[in-house]
Structure 1
Amino acid sequence: GAIAIQFLTGINPHQMPKNPDTEEIIWQDKTSVSPEFANILDKMVKYDFRQRYSSAGETLQAIKELKNSFSGTVPVLPPVAAANKTVKSRKKLYLKILSIASLIGISIIASIYGVNTFNSANATDLYNRGNTLYNLSRFEEALAAYDRAINLRPEYAEVWQEKAKTLYKLKKYQESQAAYDQAIELKPEYLEAWTGRGYALDKLQQSQEAIASFDNALKIQPDYAAAWEGRGDSLLDSQRYEEAIASYEKAVQFQPNLYGAWYNRGQAYQKLKQYDRAVESYEKAVEIKFDNSEAWYNLGNVFLELNKNQEAFEAYEKAVRFQPNFYQGWYSKGIALLKMRRHEEAVEAYEKAVKLKPDYYQAWYNLGWSYHELRKYEQAIQCYSRALDLNPKESQAWYNRGNAQYNLQRYEDALVSYNEAVYVKPDYSEAWYSRGNALVAVKRYEDAIASYDKAIRYKPDYRAAIEAKKRAESQLGRSPLESEQQQ
């Protein structure tokens, strides 16, 4: 198809303009052919190779059908003889030309332009094929096409660049960097290659080298937003938050709707605990990508830090609306609801979180606490127990499970939970105090007094423990003076 278009126009198709929307070659204005013939040539050179004829046989059949259906519409070729040539003679000339192009096109190209030009054309076709596959996210196939192009034309810098991009997508960062290096060696002022190399180096945790690569790109084009954004990412990874912010601000100066720069600028401000500025950045990010759950989630986290619980709840609502399986979003939504004391809704949020991630300790614990606040102690105990199955060394869960059991007047069970709490955290004064209360409930006053003593040892001004100890001593008929002598 490309040979025929070049024969008709005298121009190499690779030098022709392309439709910016479809990437198809614009060539018909440079010659005069019948629409039927033009359609065949268009199909032979489709940008998406899957839309082309699948074989030479299929192409030949289309040509035969065109020949058989020939009517008054014929290719109009530049005049090569007298102006009174008949349609029949022009038809014969057209078929002769087309036969030559179809049957011995390769020989013609090789003899006129030489083997190197032929290889170059094939390499370009493979390059275009690789780009199509890349755009379809068929990265392994794209990589194979680029490798074949490089085998034909090793000095093809653009193919090395696209190969590097594909390797990056495949998370083969070391190989990606090597391919970018090759592109840069062939074309030292290759802006995109310097930028892509920086991203690959950042993934390899070579932040300083990445920043240097982005700086080289910016020497070539100081207003290149992608390089400023990548530079910001490397600085963010290096915990150089102020410098990262400065780079992101450059990026959005040159490309205002650059989502990644706004989002990461928010992260940098969040790390610096400058929450109001972080809110500004995240709000700009969700303005650009309204359905991005990560940005809504981080915006919610910042609102929580600012104690803006309703705004946090609304942000988390959007996060889980756009990504229903976002278990962290459901969990954090539950936190906002707990802070607003909307316990029934918090239960719903945490139940969604543990359904999505059954091994999420903190969600089980918070679900237990939500039930606890609703005085649904049996459900609370079940949730605390699930949390403790996942993390037996959490003293707070043991303590709260003990409190729920105490509220159900299951004092012996409560003692078991309090014992575990103080075993895990020996200086847990509240657990010693509650343990004393459970011992009083089963009339073990001596043990209760000893437990209160532990609470007071770890928290000397613990008024509730001091008063409870006095009441336990009165149950034994012990005077305050006797208690002091015993101590």
Structure 2
Amino acid sequence: MATILEALTLALDLHLAGRFGEAQELYTRILDAEPEQPDALHYLGVLAGQIGQGDFGLTLIGKAIALRPEAADIHANRANLLRGLDRLDEAEAGYRRAIALRPDFAEAWTDRAFARHGRGDASAVDVSADLLERALRIDPALEPAREKLVALLHARGRLRLETGQVTPALADLIRAASLDPQDADIAFLLGNALFAAGLRADSVIAFRNALALVPDFLSAALNLGIALAATNRPDAALAPLHHAVRIDPAHPAARETLALALRSLGRAADADALTVPSAEPAPVRKAAGKRPFPRRPRRS
């Protein structure tokens, strides 16, 4: 006959494999044999929450905590059930208890951030971001913490940039880009923030990164051309601007900006060809005077 430990190990394996019915039956049999087996109470409570029986799960985990009050993981899982029931204040209290018992509990810091963000009050994003940073200091490889922090910083950086808070937006987007260097939109927004902060050469690098990640990213190609022109490289600006027009030949901003770049280099005839529909021949006309190049990148 299997021992309690062997039965519990098998039940947990079934549970982790998603075979909830079999796991539930085995946990129940363990509790029939040993009604105060704390691990069986704990894991059966977690399973109950996973199958939509959160209140029953809280009862089971409450019994487990009474038997093992210093077990941080049991407190954290109870808080997870409370969060699933939208009892966010109680959930946060549970995560705080788990963290007090185990300060290096990175998952509890992460789950507390999720609960805090779910409350949606004015400080939710700032507090949640700080909690996630704490989790990543403990465990830099913790993927849920990284993904959530990237999403928060991305959204907050965009909002700050759109409302003229350039310096804090820059801090958010630099951190987000370091956490997820493969996100083209973050690279693009970082380029916009760098340009707005007067760091034109650095913005060129960010726009190049965005375009390398998504070659048909029209706004990145357009803003790369503008940034190159702003760093006194009008010849270099032509390539990304031509690319922007190739991506969308009818895009007015792309055509207009390329035309301005061509005029700034004295290529008025080439610029004139961009100011008429491509299906019609360009009329012969005198070269117009130079128009100022765009001073700011275009927004996505």
Find 1:287's aligned residue among 137, 141, 144.
137
Secondary structure of 2:173 counterpart: helix
**Partner in structure 2 of residue 310 of structure 1:** 170
**Partner in structure 2 of residue 267 of structure 1:** 114
**Partner in structure 1 of residue 28 of structure 2:** 181
Question: Relative to structure 1, is the Cα distance of residues 244 and 374 closer, same or farther in structure 2, using a 3 angstrom cutoff?
Answer: same
> Cα distance, 1:209 vs. partner?
3.0
2:254 pairs with 1:404: yes
Aligned residues: 232
Residues 56-455 of structure 1: matches in 2 within 5 Å?
153=1, 156-273=3-120, 274-304=124-154, 305=156, 307=160, 308-320=168-180, 327=182, 329=183, 331-341=185-195, 342-349=203-210, 351-352=212-213, 354=214, 367-375=217-225, 376-381=240-245, 401-405=251-255, 409=274, 411-412=276-277
Greater relative contact order structure (CA < 8 Å, 6+ sep): 2
> Cα distance, 1:177 vs. partner?
2.6
> Cα distance, 1:228 vs. partner?
1.2
CA contact (8 A) 2:187 2:206 kept: no
> Cα distance, 1:404 vs. partner?
2.6
CA contact (8 A) 1:297 1:315 kept: no
> Cα distance, 1:255 vs. partner?
1.3
> Cα distance, 1:411 vs. partner?
4.9
> Cα distance, 1:334 vs. partner?
3.9
> Cα distance, 1:246 vs. partner?
1.3
CA contact (8 A) 1:229 1:247 kept: yes
1:238-279 C-alpha deviation (Å, 9 max, x unpaired)? 333222211111111111111111011112222334122213
Question: Relative to structure 1, is the Cα distance of residues 218 and 173 closer, same or farther in structure 2, using a 3 angstrom cutoff?
Answer: same
> Cα distance, 1:343 vs. partner?
4.9
1:9-68 C-alpha deviation (Å, 9 max, x unpaired)? xxxxxxxxxxxxxxxxxxxxxxxxxxxxxxxxxxxxxxxxxxxxxxxxxxxxxxxxxxxx
Question: Relative to structure 1, is the Cα distance of residues 171 and 184 closer, same or farther in structure 2, using a 3 angstrom cutoff?
Answer: same
TM-score, normalised relative to structure 2: 0.65
Residues in 2 aligned to 1:167 and 1:189: alpha-carbon distance in whole angstroms: 21
Greater radius of gyration (CA): 1
Identity of aligned residues (%): 17
Residues in 2 aligned to 1:384 and 1:236: alpha-carbon distance in whole angstroms: 46
> Cα distance, 1:288 vs. partner?
0.8
1:313-370 C-alpha deviation (Å, 9 max, x unpaired)? 343344247xxxxx5x554344334333325413414533x48xxxxxxxx6xx3211
> Cα distance, 1:295 vs. partner?
2.4
Gaps of 5+ in 2: 161-167, 196-202, 226-239, 259-273, 284-300
CA contact (8 A) 2:8 2:27 kept: yes
Residues in 1 aligned to 2:103 and 2:28: alpha-carbon distance in whole angstroms: 30
**Partner in structure 2 of residue 53 of structure 1:** none
Question: Relative to structure 1, is the Cα distance of residues 339 and 297 closer, same or farther in structure 2, using a 3 angstrom cutoff?
Answer: farther
**Partner in structure 2 of residue 102 of structure 1:** none
Residues in 2 aligned to 1:166 and 1:223: alpha-carbon distance in whole angstroms: 25
1:188-207 C-alpha deviation (Å, 9 max, x unpaired)? 11111122223323333433
Residues in 1 aligned to 2:105 and 2:81: alpha-carbon distance in whole angstroms: 17
TM-score, normalised relative to structure 1: 0.42
Matched letter for residue 193 of structure 1: A
Residues in 1 aligned to 2:276 and 2:87: alpha-carbon distance in whole angstroms: 54
Matched letter for residue 238 of structure 1: L
CA contact (8 A) 1:248 1:265 kept: yes
Secondary structure of 1:268 counterpart: helix
**Partner in structure 1 of residue 233 of structure 2:** none
